[in-house]
Amino acid sequence: MSLEVSDNSMKWRFDFSRIPSACGLSGFINRDGNRVGGEVIIESMRVMNERGNGLGGGFAGYGIYPEYAEDYALHIMFESQEGKLACEALLKENVNVEKMEEIPTEPNERIVNPPILWRYFCKPRAEKLNETGKSEDDFIVDLVMQINTDVPGSFVFSSGKNMGVFKAVGFAEDVGDFYRLGEYKGYAWIGHTRFPTNTPGWWGGAHPFNILDWSVVHNGEISSYGTNKRYLEMFGYRCTLLTDTEVMAYLFDLLIRKHRLPIEIACSVMAAPFWKDIDRTNGDERKLYESLRSVYAGALVNGPFAVIVGFSRGLMGLNDRIKLRPLVAAEKNEYIYISSEEAAIREICPKPERIWAPRAGKPVIALLRDGA
């Protein structure tokens, strides 16, 4: 199973094996909802250049499309014009497109061979929703899955509302410049640089991984990948990218969106407490964790990871259950920062009020304040 990427390959993206990679991540949120330019997250990522090898970088910004806040903003990469036409035909059938345009970029010599990059602000067609009986979110998820598995040469890499993912093959800071992130303002940003151990050379493989408004940047290699992937498949997810991050994103989607578990509970499924600690609790609490671990055994993510998850209400950072990858958090005024390295935080916030290393398996959850 080798990777095949060629301009006219119909197998544009799916025929490759899982690739281990290490990474650097950073993210911050203004809890009052005040919007900040994308250059800030680029500066934070630039400090962690060492953590990547130029084979993947990306960002997600929240609150960047206020003028289309009610539309799903689909960012799609196309391998060819034919792919684009096929995909647009499918879109036309299923959604009303409010606006479509090329994603603005500033070509630079370090970002090579960009695919065709377009964005579509759209809503599901009412008659399609009636016909299928799905919720708007489920409808969009299924549409994204359909495009990504069935439409050759098309890949949706961002599908939330009032947010967007920007990613490419390259160092994070170059990717940020390429997408002109300084021209966007968002209340939360996350960034990622990647150090894969071989070269997929495919833009879709960069982070963040996104579905709806969930974006995940991730540093780690999931030792339980096979278990998690097969567990997700039972709930209809198709893990086509063979990346750990995809699995993380789907697990959050399943636990939080579909099963409506509180975020803290979803975290204690994915980075479950040890039995020895559960055994020290009593009554309802013990029953809760005993039930969570048995029922959601397939969703326990084992192996090293540090992850930052962005969603419309906030940011969340989480480490694996024995903290095998670095993660630091800091707070200053209405800002919360989460990063692989303290230096990446101090670069954009030199004097935080509080800086700490979150404990293994204990999430850092930073939500927008009520009314923000």
Partner 1 sequence: MPDRFLPSEFIVNVDHQRCRRCKRCILNCGFGVFDFQNMTTADSSKCVACHRCVVFCPEEAITITRNPLAYREHASWDVELRKAIWKQAQNSGMILTGMGNDKPWLNIFDHLLIDACQVTNPSIDPLREPMELRTYLGRKPDRLEVKLDSEGKIVLENPLENNIMINVPIIFSGMSYGSISLNAQRAIAIAAERLGTLMNTGEGGLHEELYPYADHIIVQCASGRFGVHSKYLNAGVAVEIKIGQGAKPGIGGHLPGEKIGREVSGTRMIPQGTDALSPAPHHDIYSIEDLRQLIYALKEATGYKPVSVKIATVHNVAAIASGIARAGADMIYLDGFRGGTGASPAVVRDHVGIPIEIAIAVVDEQLRNEGIRNMVSIIAAGGIRSSADVVKAIALGADAVAIGTAALIAMGCRLCQKCYTGNCSWGIATQRPELTSRLDPDWGAERLVNLVNSWSLEVKEVLGALGINAIESLRGNRDRLRSLGLDPATNEVLGVKPVGK
As annotated, the active-site residues are 23
As measured in angstroms, the least distance from the Cβ of 226 to partner 1 is: 3
Can you name the residues that pair with 310 across neighbouring β-strands?
215, 315
Q: How many residues bind partner 1 (CB under 8 A)?
A: 49
Alpha-carbon torsion 204, 206, 211, 212, what sign? negative
**Taking CB under 8 A as the rule, does residue 240 contact partner 1?**
no
**Taking CB under 8 A as the rule, does residue 284 contact partner 1?**
yes
The residue behind tokens 């833009």 is 203
- Whether 350 and 45 have beta carbons less than 8 Å apart is answered as no
**Taking CB under 8 A as the rule, does residue 370 contact partner 1?**
no
CA distance 288 to 290: 6
Tell me which residue of 162, 74, 165 sits closest to 124, measured CA to CA.
74
* 139-142 contacts, C-beta under 8 A, 24 or more apart: 139/94, 140/72, 140/212, 141/211, 141/212, 141/253
For residues 17 and 108, which CB has a smaller minimum distance to partner 1 in the complex? 17
Please pick, from the candidates 23, 64, 300, 330, the single residue that binds partner 1 as defined by CB under 8 A. 300
The interface region with partner 1, picked from 103-111, 141-149, 161-169, 282-290 by CB under 8 A, is 282-290
For residues 132 and 291, which CB has a smaller minimum distance to partner 1 in the complex? 291
**Taking CB under 8 A as the rule, does residue 288 contact partner 1?**
yes
For residues 85 and 357, which CB has a smaller minimum distance to partner 1 in the complex? 357
**Taking CB under 8 A as the rule, does residue 298 contact partner 1?**
yes
Please pick, from the candidates 291, 356, 357, 359, the single residue that binds partner 1 as defined by CB under 8 A. 291
Please pick, from the candidates 102, 126, 131, 234, the single residue that binds partner 1 as defined by CB under 8 A. 234
**Taking CB under 8 A as the rule, does residue 17 contact partner 1?**
yes
DSSP label of 161 = B
For residues 181 and 299, which CB has a smaller minimum distance to partner 1 in the complex? 299
Please pick, from the candidates 53, 199, 223, 240, the single residue that binds partner 1 as defined by CB under 8 A. 223
- Whether 192 and 24 have beta carbons less than 8 Å apart is answered as yes
- Whether 163 and 85 have beta carbons less than 8 Å apart is answered as no
Please pick, from the candidates 202, 225, 252, 335, the single residue that binds partner 1 as defined by CB under 8 A. 225
Cα separation values, 327 from 258, 323, 343, Å: 27, 8, 12
**Taking CB under 8 A as the rule, does residue 142 contact partner 1?**
no
**Taking CB under 8 A as the rule, does residue 214 contact partner 1?**
no
**Taking CB under 8 A as the rule, does residue 20 contact partner 1?**
yes
As measured in angstroms, the least distance from the Cβ of 86 to partner 1 is: 29
For residues 232 and 330, which CB has a smaller minimum distance to partner 1 in the complex? 232
CA distance 238 to 230: 9
For residues 11 and 99, which CB has a smaller minimum distance to partner 1 in the complex? 11
**Taking CB under 8 A as the rule, does residue 345 contact partner 1?**
no
Please pick, from the candidates 3, 21, 86, 210, the single residue that binds partner 1 as defined by CB under 8 A. 21
* 80-83 contacts, C-beta under 8 A, 24 or more apart: 80/7, 80/8, 80/116, 80/153, 81/116, 82/153, 83/12, 83/151, 83/152, 83/153, 83/154
For residues 22 and 147, which CB has a smaller minimum distance to partner 1 in the complex? 22
**Taking CB under 8 A as the rule, does residue 221 contact partner 1?**
yes
As measured in angstroms, the least distance from the Cβ of 295 to partner 1 is: 5
CA distance 63 to 136: 20
Task: List strand residue ranges (DSSP E) for 176-231, in order.
Answer: 185-186, 188-196, 209-211, 214-220
Task: List strand residue ranges (DSSP E) for the chain, in order.
Answer: 21-30, 36-37, 57-62, 72-78, 95-102, 116-124, 154-158, 163-168, 185-186, 188-196, 209-211, 214-220, 305-311, 314-319, 328-332, 335-339, 354-356, 364-367
Please pick, from the candidates 113, 132, 135, 197, the single residue that binds partner 1 as defined by CB under 8 A. 197
Residues that bind partner 1 (CB under 8 A): 1, 17-18, 20-22, 197, 220-221, 223-227, 229-231, 233-235, 259-262, 264-265, 272, 274-276, 284, 287-288, 290-298, 300, 302-304, 321-322, 324
